[in-house]
Amino acid sequence: MLFHIKQVHTPENCPYGNGGSPSLRDESVPGVDLKAAYGAFMEHAVYMVVEADDLEKLNKFLLPGMKVCTTTITPVSAEPLPQWNA
């Protein structure tokens, strides 16, 4: 399953110069595949698309940023919705 993830941190907790946005995640967690990562750096926000089939693994992936970020996790899909015939 694909997830759109948004991590937001305060300027005081910005990882710039201290590992950057990759320091807010653990890419070594098996079963979690980072598809893309983007930053809106002046907004102190990081956006990712991640594939995972286990919420516990996804939480482990995001654990490094837990004390400095708020995180929103949204399931997403590239597949269109099926036709609904009412």
- The per-residue pLDDT for 71 is 98
- The per-residue pLDDT for 19 is 96
Q: What is the pTM of this model?
A: 0.89
36: left (phi over 0), alpha (psi -120 to 50) or beta: beta
Terminal Cα-to-Cα distance of the chain (whole angstroms): 28
- The per-residue pLDDT for 16 is 96
- Mind listing the pLDDT tens digit of every residue in the chain (86 residues)? 999 999 999 999 999 999 999 999 999 999 999 999 999 999 999 999 999 999 999 999 999 999 999 999 999 998 888 888 87
- The per-residue pLDDT for 82 is 87
Task: Find residue 33's DSSP bridge partners.
Answer: 51
